[in-house]
Structure 1
């Protein structure tokens, strides 16, 4: 992602009206920038390295509270979803074994970073160098099946996703064209 795109994301995030796609419904504020200690703790808790671009945004713009949907969730100490969970906390919750549902196995490195409402999340595949965005929609999942059946690829990278958002494009319409 170019420095120009980071600047455009930063500029859009500075306005109360454009900080998130849902600013009119749920105003948000940008969290303090991610510290080195918070980053180290995040890596330790996750067990993997979050994508460099996501970390750069958290360190230069703020630790969440801006971006598509209801805004990017932060790493440790950052912005949360509507249930009060950061990306790290939600990943840890999703990754827990469920003895009542042995088919449940959250994909390693699939970091939920953006809440859209109705428990739908955009996630970054941290295991792939391109950091592709995937959509978790539990409304398409049935208990007793793998969550991977309700995870769809958007076929765009985190960089492309953020460039699209910084241009003012409605990403929800791209994710769910018939909605």
Structure 2
């Protein structure tokens, strides 16, 4: 193995041997939901192509190589990476949403649409209000659902937040936070001074932090 993922699988699995690995967020969670610094087996090239066929899109290179060299899911930021189920030729086709254009500007469009919600004070006719609000709601639902078009959901952050990988459009290969649960749409993941973060930057930054925390423990704050 060479390139950006050289030695990454071995590093992840080794974290579990360090004394404070349970202190890494998402690693050890009641009910066996933590990722435990375990990784699923890597995929073969034909299996990755089958995943891509099911999604209807070619995966960005860093993530594709991760599946081939590190693992198909398991240990990773937050509660770990979702795995991939390789399906056969008779499997039901996917929704096709991954292959649609990823449009970050849709979050602003949704914000503008929400500001234009029909108000009862503007209507003398209840039937007209119901009609216009129904049309507004239908458009709202469409915009809300479209925010994740062209993305692959990688992981659950907790509290209804998710991490997405853009797989189409100019932002292809970058990471995004799905924070629709708090009405903030889809926002770019940032890292220090980087306004955009790729999958490898995101994952390897987490791994460095996990290794340090597992070896040294979380900082302890003392009252003065």
- Scaled to the shorter chain, the TM-score interval is 0.5 to 0.7
Q: TM-score under structure 1 normalisation? A: 0.66
> Corresponding residue for 1:160?
201
> Corresponding residue for 1:7?
6
Change (3 A) 1:73 1:93: farther
Give the Cα–Cα distance (whole angstroms) in 1 for the partners of residues 50 and 176 of structure 2. 24
The Cα shift of 1:7 comes to 3.4
Richer in strand (by share): 1
Change (3 A) 1:114 1:9: farther
The Cα shift of 1:137 comes to 1.4
> Corresponding residue for 1:121?
162
Matches within 5 A, 1:16-165: 16=16, 17=21, 21-25=25-29, 26-28=34-36, 29-77=38-86, 92=95, 101-103=141-143, 104-127=145-168, 128=170, 131-141=173-183, 150-154=185-189, 155-165=196-206
The Cα shift of 1:153 comes to 0.6
Q: Deviations over 1:50-93 (max 9, x none)?
A: 11111111111111102111111233349xxxxxxxxxxxx849
Change (3 A) 1:169 1:150: farther
The Cα shift of 1:150 comes to 0.9
The alignment covers a number of residue pairs equal to 145
CA RMSD, 1 decimal: 3.2
Change (3 A) 1:129 1:11: farther
Which structure has the bigger radius of gyration? 2
> Corresponding residue for 1:84?
none
Which structure 2 segments of 5+ residues have no match?
88-93, 99-137, 190-195, 212-224
Is the 1:9–1:162 contact (alpha carbons within 8 Å) kept by the matching residues of 2? Answer: no
Give the Cα–Cα distance (whole angstroms) in 2 for the partners of residues 159 and 31 of structure 1. 18
Q: TM-score under structure 2 normalisation? A: 0.54
Is the 1:33–1:60 contact (alpha carbons within 8 Å) kept by the matching residues of 2? Answer: yes
Richer in helix (by share): 2
